[in-house]
Structure 1
Amino acid sequence: MEPVSNSFTVDLRRLGVLRELARRGSLARTADALHLTPSAVSQQLAALAREVGVPLLEKHGRGVRLTGQARILLEHADLMAAQWERARVDLAAWEEGRRGAVTVGAFSSAVNGLLPGAVRALAAHHPDLGLRVVEAGAPDVFTLLDAREIDVAVAVDFAAAPPRTDPRYSRTALLADVLDIALPADHPRAGRDRIPLQDLAADAWIVGDAGSCCGAVTRSVCAANGFTPDIRHAVDDWTALAALVESGLGVALVPRLVQPLHRPGLVLRRPAGPPPVRHVFAAVRAGSGADPAQAAVLDALRTAAAEAAGPTPAGP
């Protein structure tokens, strides 16, 4: 490997590949996320290593892992990405009265529960600004954000999302989305206003995939209440989940962002004690927060979140 030069140049796109590898942990998963082949990812990283003159990968079992030099380079890559965002914002702000569109990536229930309100708020206050929507959950929504395929990511704080201290993003808290219990109308506990979750430990449960935000939150909430749910059905679509609950095939936790579900054979009840919640936030690339269009969209999302927060669950 050539020694580090005082005048080396770096392809920012290759830095993006390195950042994605740090997120995904393997060449294969990085290739899938970037729609490349593993060989192309390896070539990009080998070229980047030649550019900076230090090894970036080392063998680890059957795969590879980042070297210490690679992690140092990533720290600088985050700072460079943020500075480029600031430069882009400064150039965009030069044009007064700018028109355009902001692309938002959001998980499915945020698309249903937040984006319509945000569109109404933008129409009222920023009629010349368009909003485009892409449905995506973590971690994919952050890959899209890094690749500039979207401008704002709306996500839930759980294991697949970046930590709050991640320097690549600037976060805006939107709402604490309360989860209620969905029961068949003829369930023995359906007549109660509040139900201890422990009382449902022996029931069949309908839960989303463990990699999804609600699937992960349901599992963690049940664990915090002292039991592992007996998952009989794995469903990520809320309409399908409601239909299964109504049919008597199990119980579920349902976030208020997707309510009301309007099914006559289903009731929603509050859990006893502190309500389980999932924390919804918006993120933009670090350094881009002063972009007037993105700021307008974040304001609209906050307005929509305030409208969506805390609806009272409906009965049958």
Structure 2
Amino acid sequence: MEPFSDPFTIDLRRLGVLRELDRRGSVARTAEALHLTSSAVSQQLAALAREAGVPLVEREGRGVRLTPQARVLLEHADLIAAQLERARADLTAFDHGRRGTVTIGCFGSGIQGLLPEALRALAARQPKVRVRVREAQPPDLFTSLDAGLVDVAVCVDFAAAPPHTDRRYVRTDLLTDVLDLALPAGHRLADTTAEPVPLRELATDAWIVGDPRSCCGAVTRSACAAAGFTPDIRHAVDDWHALAALVEAGAGVALVPRLVQPLHRPGLVLRRPSGPPPIRNIFAAVRNGSEHDPVLAAVLAHLRDAGRAAAARA
């Protein structure tokens, strides 16, 4: 390839395509996430390679992998994105965070059990800040965060979430949410005066579990595996109201986070599993540099307060 042009300029939108390819691992999945065709993604990557003057992808079987030069470019892309967010935050600071619009992406039970308190506090103290909420989970949630479609991502730490070392984001821990066993009232282990229940005793029960790509679906499968069995999943349900109705009807047992337990029905009994309880760690993330935005800083502060209040209720 030709050496770097002088002056050296690259299209930041194309950098975003490269970052998404790094996250998704294939051109087809990148195209799907960005609502483009595979051909368009390949064209964007080829154009970025011409601008940078280095190869960015190479063939690996039927797919592609990033070159070492692409890894170097991604490190600079993270720094560039963070600096742009700081510039945006500095401009916003001129109005001292009194007004603005913020979009929060959040998983379903977080919208039910965490956001309402934070949004009420924000509305009372900063009434000119408009908030939009979008239900989403990783990896799509972080694709939206990178693209600016979401300003704050609230999610659970699990395999689909970015690692703590990902420099693209600044994380704020909100809550460690404990999961309890949900049993129908007539279940053999429904006696709430008894000792905590070993999960292994439910190895032969029917289970109600969410999609394996969802946070609670992943946590339930991991907890059962740690107890030494694979759950017999009869019902795949991600909505907590629907899950509670099925448990109450005797259709199976489930693990339920305390964040949503006030929603449950009277014919449903909650028991603590024995040993270290299954947990899910809930955090908020913003783009690196944007944490200095006074509006986002206020939103994060109210989310932290809501997390502490939820932990106290649990």
TM-score by length of 1: 0.96
Does the CA-based 8 Å contact 2:97-2:295 persist in structure 1? no
Matched, 1:180 2:180: yes
1:51 is aligned to: 51
Q: Distance in 2 between matches of 1:203 and 1:262?
A: 20
2:222 is aligned to: 220
1:204 is aligned to: 206
Q: Distance in 1 between matches of 2:179 and 2:299?
A: 26
Does the CA-based 8 Å contact 1:178-1:310 persist in structure 2? no
1:5 is aligned to: 5
Q: Distance in 2 between matches of 1:16 and 1:161?
A: 18
1:73-112, aligned counterparts within 5 Å? 73-96=73-96, 98-112=98-112
Report the CA distance between 1:221 and its aligned residue: 1.0
Report the CA distance between 1:119 and its aligned residue: 0.9
2:262 is aligned to: 260
- SS at 2:95's partner residue? coil
Q: Residues 102-132 of structure 1, C-alpha deviation per residue, up to 9 Å, x if partnerless?
A: 1100011111111101111112222222221
Q: Distance in 2 between matches of 1:96 and 1:183?
A: 50
One-letter code aligned to 2:264: H
1:277 is aligned to: 279
One-letter code aligned to 1:127: P
TM-score by length of 2: 0.96
Matched, 1:138 2:138: yes
Q: Which runs of 5+ in 2 are unaligned?
A: none
2:151 is aligned to: 151
- SS at 1:278's partner residue? strand
Report the CA distance between 1:6 and its aligned residue: 4.7
Matched, 1:65 2:65: yes
Does the CA-based 8 Å contact 2:104-2:134 persist in structure 1? yes
One-letter code aligned to 2:229: F
Q: Residues 175-204 of structure 1, C-alpha deviation per residue, up to 9 Å, x if partnerless?
A: 001101000100000014421111111211
- SS at 1:271's partner residue? coil
1:167 is aligned to: 167
Q: Distance in 1 between matches of 2:270 and 2:148?
A: 39
Kindly indicate which of the two structures has a greater share of residues assigned to helix: 2
Report the CA distance between 1:7 and its aligned residue: 2.2
- Count of residue pairs the alignment pairs up: 312
- SS at 2:272's partner residue? strand
Report the CA distance between 1:307 and its aligned residue: 1.5
2:232 is aligned to: 230
Q: Distance in 2 between matches of 1:270 and 1:121?
A: 32
Identity of aligned residues (%): 72
Q: Distance in 1 between matches of 2:153 and 2:74?
A: 21
Runs of 4+ displaced beyond 6 Å:
none
Q: Distance in 2 between matches of 1:260 and 1:272?
A: 22
Q: Which runs of 5+ in 1 are unaligned?
A: none
